[in-house]
Structures are given as C-alpha cells and as structure tokens.
Amino acid sequence: MGSRTQEERSGTCSALDRWEDGLHAVAEYQKESKSKPLQQSHKSTSKHSTGVPYPFLTYTDLNFIETYETLDIERSFLDYFVQDSESSTPCWDAELIRNFCNFGGPYTTPGLRTEIFLHDREYETGKTRDHPESLDVAQLRQALREPRFGHDHLSDASRRQILVKNLNPDVVRTLAETAACHQVDALRDTISKHISGETSIKVQRQVDGEDKPRLELHLPYLALRRVPQAKCKATFTTAGQSRKPRTSFYVPDFAALDGEQSHRYVIHESHISIAVSAWDHTKWTVYAFFKPCPEVEPEGEHENDVASDDGEENDSDDEGENDDDDPFPTEDILAPDNGAYNLNADQTIWDPRKYFTRIAAIWVSLVLREYTYLVQTLDANVKAWRIAARNSASEGLLSSKKDRFAAKDLLASSQAMKQLLREVREHMMPAIRAWDLFKEIDLPFFADLKDRDAKFATSDMRSSFGKLVDLEQKLGFLDQYFVEIAKDLKLQLILESNDLNHHAHELNLKRTHLSHDIHELNRTSTEAALANMRAAEKTSSTTQVNVLLIWVTTPIILVLQYFGAERPIFAFERNTRSFMLALLVVFAALPSLIFLLGLVEHLKQMVLPTRGVKKKKASCTSNSIGDSEIQLQSIPHGEP
C-alpha cells in the first residue's frame, strides 16, 4: 500500500543487527562449551536444553529507550512507547496509557500510596541483588538502569520480579524507560489492561517464529469490607479530598434493621495483573500490578498501638536485631499479603510456566475467597430480608407503624438488592468466561509439566473456578428470587390499588347520590319559591286593583256624602254641574294629597338618620373629652 516510514526501516535494521549479534553470541557460547570439560558441558546442557518452550539464548537485547535515541525519532518517548509505529488508525490502548500518564485518568485514586517491590535473582549462583524492601520511583529507576547482566559488582538479574501496588504515571514512565525491547509489548499490554480493568487468562503466542509465549493473568474482583459507621467518611475522604472508590456501593444490612447500624458494608473493585515476559528459560521478567481495596483500621487498634508504643519499643528493637534468624521463610513478593501460600522466595522456580501456574493459582484462590465472603454475606442479608418481609406481611402491609415494611418499601428494597446482585454477577462472569477459554485453548500449553506443585496449582485453579461458577449460580438463583418477589409485590400493589380505586368509586357514588338529593331539594325549593312568587304577584295585582278601586270610589263616596247632607257646608248650589265639579276636584286632590304625604315621609326618613349620626358623634366627642379630663385629673401637679 504505502511506503514504510523511516522509523520502521530503522527499526528493521536494528532488529537485524540484534539478531546477527545474537547468532554471533550463540556461536561463541558453543565454542566455549566445546572447550570446557565434558562434565561442565553436560551440566550446562542439562540446565538449558529442556526440550520445552523458551530455549536458551545469550542475552543480547537492548533497552527500548536506547533504540528510541538511536533512531532519533521526533515524537516524544511516551508516544513512541505506547505506539512504536505511526498509523492513521487510532489505537485505544495507546490513547488509554497516554491519558493515564498525562492526566492520571479515572483509574488513579488520590491519597493511596504507591508501593513498589523489586526482586532480582541470578540463575547460576542463586544470589539476589540487594534492594530496599519497598522502593520509591527514584530507587526503582536507579535499580532498573543498572545493567541486568555482566555487572562488575552486582549479580545477574536472570529472574526479575516487579510488583507495583496502586500504579501511577511516574511508575509507568520509569518502567517504559528501563524496559528492554522484547519486554515492551508485554509491558504495554499489561499496563493497558490493568488501567482499564480487563479480564484475561491467556498465553500470548508470538508470530515471529521465536518460541517465547507471554503468560498473562488479569483478574478484576470485588472485595467486601465492613466499615464502622464513624469511619465511613474517612474511608471515602483522604487528606480533605473526596475519594470515590473505583466501584463502591453500600450493601443494606437487613440483619440490623431492628437496631442501630454501627457498621456499613462497602464493596470495592480491585484488580490484579500479572505478565511473564521471557527471553529464554532462565531469563525472564514478571510484571505485577495490583489495585488493592482501601483497608479500614479496626476500632480501638490505633489507640492500642499508641498505648503500647513506649512499652514495646525495646522489644521491637530486639526483634529487629534478630531479623536474620527469622524461622519463617520469606514469602514471594508477588504473593498476596493476607495469607501464607507456601511460595518460598528462596526456593526459586525457574520454569516460567511453573511459576505462572503457582502464582496464578494463589491469586485465583484469593479472588475466590473474596467472592465467597461477598456472596455469602449477600445471601445472609437476603435471608434476613426474607424474614423482615415475612414479618411485615403477617403484620399487614398497609400498617402505619414505623417499624414495619410497606409493600412499596419492600418493592424498593427488593429492586435495590436485585440491582446489587446483578452488578456482582456481572463482575464475576468475565472471569468465568476467561477461564473457559483458557481451559479450552491455552491449558494444553502446560500439559507436559511433570512438576507436582505445578499440577496441584492447575488443579487448584480448576477447583477455584468451579466454586466460582457455583457462587455465580447462587447469585443467579437469588436474582431470580427477587424477580419473582418483584412480580408478587407488583401484583399485590396492583390489587391494593384496585381496592383503593374501588373504595374511591364507592365514595364517589355516594357523593353522586348525595348531590342528586341536594339537586332535588334545590329544585323543590325553587318550585316553592316560584309558587310564592306567583302568589305574591297575584296578591300584588289584587292590592293594586283594590287601591285603584279605593281611588275611584272614595271621591264618589265623599261627594255623595256631601251632596246627601241636610245642610250644605259650602255656599254653592247642589246640582248636577256642581256635583261633577266636586268629583273632579276630589279626584285631583286625592292623588295630590297622597303624593304630598309620601314626600313628607321620604323627607322624614332622610332627616332622622342624619340627626342620629350627629348625636352619635356628639356622644363620642363627649366621652373622649370626659376621658381626657379624667387623665388630666390623675396627673399630679407639677408634672408635665
């Protein structure tokens, strides 16, 4: 397709040069072997010609940073380490390591101290290099920059073990700058998988014809810890900074529902990565990166330590003087800290495959122990939940007492437990799948091992993963139980909702009947009011007729009475003409009189209320004046 870059051509030339140097060294070694006595030659052959992978080769490899400096590459060393060949296709592993080194990434945990352990041992003599028990980054860089073979004052580092707890960017840069060319692929892949928390149990084969398989173990697991309630805040805070565990969540302690919970269960996600990169059968390096969960100091332990500092100071000094006489063997640095695994560091295992099976079996057993504690604790909590749910059901799900569950609370807690069980199960399943693939594809790579311990280690791994499958199935049963419980609770809530709806419907029906009765009553009242109104209108009409009749008959009666009197009152003749005039006068005077009387009555009603208001104001004024006079009289003379 395209032309190869200058870096690739230079890298190819460098690889050819190293290959020619290796062949030259092998030829020189063969000449030296022939010149030695037969016994020594036979001894060397018995050590190196094993008939198994990793055939013996004289070490001729260069450090990766030397290759980088020789090629004079324009990119930074970190970019060259994460991706040694330029490509237009982006690489996720390279991006992951680059972000981790530049920004820390989401996988670094602030506040957790990085611990580094290094162990080097020579194949021929069994001597070890003197390293501090725990190194910092500067000490690690200084130790790894020393020549691995042929040093004037140090023994060879034929078997090198590097363990890093809580990997940080500085350690990654140090390991990259001190790695040999044949270690870069293994180191880069191990760092990437450890940062991302991947799961893998695999034998990585090379395609360049060299029989140097890379052995790797990457196992994430969940660790359950019981944290005192008073120290929960300290568990998630370090140096004033909020420190959220990688995958951390609380486990409800249903066994302590009736009393105050003095502890809380917290789940942390941990990860172990182990990779064996071999040059040959006797020269290999194992990288191990470990993300431990933060341990919480038990209550009262700190006080006891402080109280016993003065009393035990001399004893500790005496013990320090007798460290060399310690009867217990030194444990391998890659073995976990929390147990005796009978992996003696002084009884060196030189076969990379044997060592990998031993250390992998140890870590798998640790993972099994952590998951066993977690699953059994969850199972106990589920049983306590069942008892609490059964008691609440017997007492009545609709009870209003605070110490009883409601159906809604049961459903919410069951959903939380189901989610927790599924998350734990999702963390376990990749390890089981990885073991199935390893058992089917890569386990035959170890079939020719005759070592008893290696066979036992392989058998232990089979047994551990078998038990892990049983735990995963138990989680599946618990998950299915909560699925059924959720269905029952939802059905129960639906039934209760239907009952409530039925009661509400009955109340609405009664309210409707009552409203209908009120409507009938209002309609009857309206009809009665209408009847009264009609009667009032009829009465008013009759009254009006009577009034008109009075107005009409009264003048006639008055005139008739006047003209029927024996003696006339007024001096005019009583005839028809005067009779008619009298009727007209009376007819006109009567309405006028009625109008004047009404006007007087109206004026009277207007005048009388005004006088009442004036009288009230006058009375109020007089009362206030009287009160003020009383107050003035109560003030002694001479006071203002």
pLDDT per residue as tens digits for the range 269-323: 899 999 999 988 889 999 999 998 876 555 554 444 444 444 444 444 444 444 4
Write out the two tokens for 222.
């969940």
Round to whole Å and give the CA distance between 438 and 198.
15
DSSP structural state of residue 438? I
Instruction: Say which residue, 98 or 402, is predicted with more confidence.
Output: 98
The model's confidence at residue 118, banded by pLDDT at 50, 70 and 90, is very high
Phi, psi of 552 (to 5 degrees): -80, -45
Instruction: Say which residue, 152 or 399, is predicted with more confidence.
Output: 152
SS3 at position 59 = coil
With CA atoms as reference, report the closest residue to 147 among 55, 61, 20: 61
pLDDT score recorded for residue 469: 95
With CA atoms as reference, report the closest residue to 219 among 197, 188, 238: 197
Mean pLDDT score of the chain, rounded to an integer? 77
pLDDT per residue as tens digits for the range 551-591: 788 888 888 877 877 777 777 777 888 888 888 888 888 88
Cβ burial 161-196 (10 Å sphere, 16+ → b, else e): bbbbbbbbbebbbbbbbbbbbbbbbbbbbbbbbbbb
Least confident of 109-118, 325-334, 387-396: 387-396
Write out the two tokens for 15.
């690889």
Instruction: Say which residue, 218 or 88, is predicted with more confidence.
Output: 218
Q: Are strands 115-121 and 159-165 parallel, antiparallel or unpaired?
A: antiparallel
Assign residue 256 a region (left: φ > 0; alpha: ψ between -120 and 50; beta: otherwise): alpha
Quick check: 106 pLDDT over 50? yes
With CA atoms as reference, report the closest residue to 468 among 424, 513, 503: 424
Least confident of 96-110, 152-166, 169-183, 259-273: 96-110
Contact 161, 110 (CB under 8 A): no
- pTM value is 0.68
The model's confidence at residue 12, banded by pLDDT at 50, 70 and 90, is very low
Least confident of 63-77, 292-306, 423-437, 540-554: 292-306
| Three-state secondary structure of 533-561 | HHHHHHHHHHHHHHHHHHHHHHHHHHHHH
Round to whole Å and give the CA distance between 44 and 22.
18
| Burial classification of residue 39, based on how many CB atoms lie within 10 Å of its CB (0-12 exposed, 13-18 middle, 19 or more buried) | exposed
- pLDDT above 90 covers a percentage of the chain that reads 33
The residue assigned the tokens 């009011």 is 529
pLDDT score recorded for residue 370: 94
Round to whole Å and give the CA distance between 175 and 9.
26
pLDDT score recorded for residue 584: 86
pLDDT score recorded for residue 138: 94
CA 200 to chain centre: 25
pLDDT per residue as tens digits for the range 368-386: 999 999 999 989 888 888 8
Round to whole Å and give the CA distance between 517 and 344.
96
pLDDT per residue as tens digits for the range 594-609: 888 888 888 888 887 7
Distances (CA, A) of 553 to 355, 524, 585: 142, 43, 14
pLDDT score recorded for residue 71: 85
C-alpha torsion 70→74→77→81, nearest 10: -90
Round to whole Å and give the CA distance between 609 and 630.
32
Quick check: 164 pLDDT over 80? yes
With CA atoms as reference, report the closest residue to 377 among 226, 479, 192, 195: 226
At position 569, the amino acid (one-letter code) is I
The set of residues, in sequence order, having a beta carbon less than 8 Å from that of 624 and lying 6+ positions away, is none
Quick check: 417 pLDDT over 80? yes
Least confident of 33-37, 299-303, 530-534: 33-37
The residue assigned the tokens 């409800």 is 252
With CA atoms as reference, report the closest residue to 279 among 187, 181, 175, 370: 181
| Burial classification of residue 485, based on how many CB atoms lie within 10 Å of its CB (0-12 exposed, 13-18 middle, 19 or more buried) | buried
Round to whole Å and give the CA distance between 449 and 438.
16
Instruction: Say which residue, 46 or 472, is predicted with more confidence.
Output: 472
Contact 135, 116 (CB under 8 A): yes
pLDDT per residue as tens digits for the range 427-441: 999 999 999 999 999
pLDDT per residue as tens digits for the range 224-263: 988 877 666 555 544 444 444 444 444 555 555 444 556 7
SS3 at position 223 = strand
SS3 at position 128 = strand
Stated length of the chain = 640
136: how many CB neighbours lie within 10 A of its CB?
Answer: 14
Kindly give the interhelix angle for 452-563 and 352-395, rounded to the nearest 10 degrees.
30
pLDDT score recorded for residue 381: 85
pLDDT per residue as tens digits for the range 172-200: 999 999 999 989 999 999 999 999 999 99
Quick check: 470 pLDDT over 90? yes
Distances (CA, A) of 197 to 374, 421, 465, 502: 19, 20, 19, 54
CA angle 222, 223, 225 (to 5 degrees): 145
Quick check: 143 pLDDT over 90? yes
Instruction: Say which residue, 489 or 425, is predicted with more confidence.
Output: 425
Quick check: 147 pLDDT over 60? yes
